[in-house]
């Protein structure tokens, strides 16, 4: 397994150089923020260099390469496997209500002999990530693992896109299947936020839209807690996510708001917040956020029981980036310390992360976590 990486800066210059031609590269991941025009120019260069490769990726709220976190750049990661096949597919979605069926369609295309893992990149605004995961899981054997994330648009929440077949697509989901018994895939997801305030009962909700907490307007109650930050919704919600109780003694899931409706007093989340569930507000703890990234790396490495990985895809939530600010690279550096110097690190800041918490757990949509997928290819 060979991995090479390139960065295209905001002025169009490449580092360390423009992508070198290689017809044996099977997969290219492009994570790009900023102007769509610049991304299209990046894709032109990538297509010329890797004519036989599957080219995928998405828009971001920040790009990760090695231990750097960039804004508005393009990160290109080209992968050549020795004994692993890759295959991809894509579906369009018109709204969140189509999320589960989209997941089923993706699974139906990719399910087959030798499938070990699916990596999914989704529209970040017009999707119910929980339903997408349910649809994917329902159509796959239990042995097939799933990780990925929701694309982002910085803190603007206007439009996100994914890359499929070397082209930009809005309102779409891309899934990549990895096939073969030589590939070992690890994964881990962890947060590091603190809960505060009283527990609240979700008294009225439909899917991923919450109308009432404790029989009161959810939005009005949330605004009361945010105080002066309420003027900055929905972006301000990234600083104060909700902790969603599982009700079965398991780890809580975190949910971030994607949008608000003043007329109905409702809040729409990246994933389901079921009626009858218990929620609490959360706030940041700097050291725990960084420790959470390190813990995600540790879980992902230990889940494979292999040597250090060759490639790690890091998907961290935009909320973490807004909180950590100039310290944001510390969470990536903590991942490097766990995974070792030989691992190529790539990834992006997202509107949602997809993975099991740890090996043996079911796949879920998360918010405000660092989620890591590692790849290691064993010798024959």
**Burial status of residue 247 (CB atoms within 10 A of its CB: 0-12, 13-18, 19 or more):** exposed
Cα–Cα dist 275/214, whole Å: 11
pLDDT at residue 250 is higher than 80 = no
Tell me the percentage of the chain whose pLDDT exceeds 90. Answer: 73
| Average pLDDT, rounded, for the chain | 92
Q: Are the C-beta atoms of residues 340 and 243 closer than 8 Å to each other?
A: no
Contacts of 142 (CB under 8 A, 6+ apart): none
**pLDDT band for position 249 (cuts 50, 70, 90):** very low
Residue 246's pLDDT is 54
Q: For residues 84 and 258, which has the higher predicted lDDT (pLDDT)?
A: 84
Q: For residues 231 and 312, which has the higher predicted lDDT (pLDDT)?
A: 312
pLDDT at residue 364 is higher than 80 = yes
Q: Are the C-beta atoms of residues 7 and 73 closer than 8 Å to each other?
A: yes
pLDDT at residue 169 is higher than 60 = yes
Residue 247's pLDDT is 47
Residue 287's pLDDT is 87
Please compute the mean of the pLDDT values over residues 81-88 and round it to a whole number. 97
Residue 44's pLDDT is 95
Residue 26's pLDDT is 98
Number of residues written out for the chain: 380
pLDDT at residue 207 is higher than 60 = yes
Over residues 16-64, the pLDDT tens digits come to: 999 999 999 999 999 999 887 789 999 999 999 999 999 999 999 999 9
Q: Label each residue of the chain as H, E or C.
A: CEEEEEEECCCCCEECCCCCCCCCCCEEEEEECCCHHHHHHHHHHHHHHCCCCEEEEEECCCEEECCEEECCCEEEEEEECCCCEEEEEEEECCCHHHHHHHHHHHHHHHCCCCEEEEEEEECCCCCCHHHHHHHHHHCCCCCCEEEEEECCECECCCCCEEEECCEEEECEEEEEEEECCCEEEEEEEECCCEEEEEEEEEEEEECCEEEEECCEEHHHHHHHHHHHHHHHCCHHHHHCCEEECCCCCCCCEEECEEEEECCCCEEEECCCCCCCCEEEEEECCHHHHHHHHHHHHHHHHHCCCCCCCCEEEEEEEHHHHHHHHHHHHHHHHHHHHHHCCCCEEEEEEECEEEEECCCCCCEEEECCCEEEEEEEECCC
Q: Other CB atoms closer than 10 Å to residue 13's CB: what's the count?
A: 10
Q: Are the C-beta atoms of residues 80 and 2 closer than 8 Å to each other?
A: yes
Cα–Cα dist 124/349, whole Å: 11
């Amino acid at each position: 397994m060979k991995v090479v990486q390139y960065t295209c800066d905001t002025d169009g210059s490449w580092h360390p150089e423009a992508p070198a031609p290689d017809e044996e590269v099977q997969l290219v991941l492009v994570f790009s923020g900023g102007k769509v025009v610049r991304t299209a120019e990046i894709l032109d260069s990538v297509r010329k260099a890797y004519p036989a490769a599957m080219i995928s990726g998405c828009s971001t709220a920040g790009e990760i390469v090695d231990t750097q976190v960039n804004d508005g750049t393009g990160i290109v990661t080209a992968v050549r496997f020795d004994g692993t096949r890759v295959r991809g597919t894509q579906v369009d979605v018109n709204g969140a209500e189509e999320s589960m069926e989209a997941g089923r369609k993706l699974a139906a295309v990719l399910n087959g002999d030798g499938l070990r893992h699916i990596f999914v990149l989704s529209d970040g605004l017009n999707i119910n990530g929980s339903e997408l995961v349910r649809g994917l899981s329902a159509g796959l054997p239990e042995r097939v693992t799933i990780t990925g994330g929701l694309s982002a648009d910085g803190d603007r929440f206007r439009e996100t896109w994914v890359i499929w077949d070397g082209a930009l697509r809005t309102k779409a989901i891309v899934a990549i299947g990895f096939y073969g018994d030589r590939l070992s895939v690890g994964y881990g997801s962890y947060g590091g936020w603190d809960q505060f305030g009283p527990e609240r009962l979700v008294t009225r909700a439909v899917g991923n839209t919450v109308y009432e907490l404790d029989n009161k307007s959810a939005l009005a109650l949330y605004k009361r807690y945010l105080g002066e930050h309420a003027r900055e919704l929905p972006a301000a919600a990234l600083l104060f996510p909700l902790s969603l109780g599982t009700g079965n003694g398991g780890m809580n899931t975190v949910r971030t708001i994607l949008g608000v409706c003043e007329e109905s007093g409702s809040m729409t989340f990246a994933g389901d917040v079921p009626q009858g569930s218990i929620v609490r507000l959360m706030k940041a703890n700097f050291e725990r956020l960084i420790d959470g990234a390190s813990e995600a790396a540790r879980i992902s490495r230990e889940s494979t029981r292999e040597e250090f990985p060759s490639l790690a895809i890091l998907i961290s939530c935009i909320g973490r980036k807004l909180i950590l600010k100039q310290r944001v690279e510390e969470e990536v550096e903590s991942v490097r310390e766990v995974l070792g110097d030989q691992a190529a690190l790539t990834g992006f800041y997202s509107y949602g992360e997809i993975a099991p918490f740890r090996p043996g757990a079911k796949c879920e949509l998360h918010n405000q976590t660092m989620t890591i997928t590692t790849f290691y290819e064993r010798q024959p």
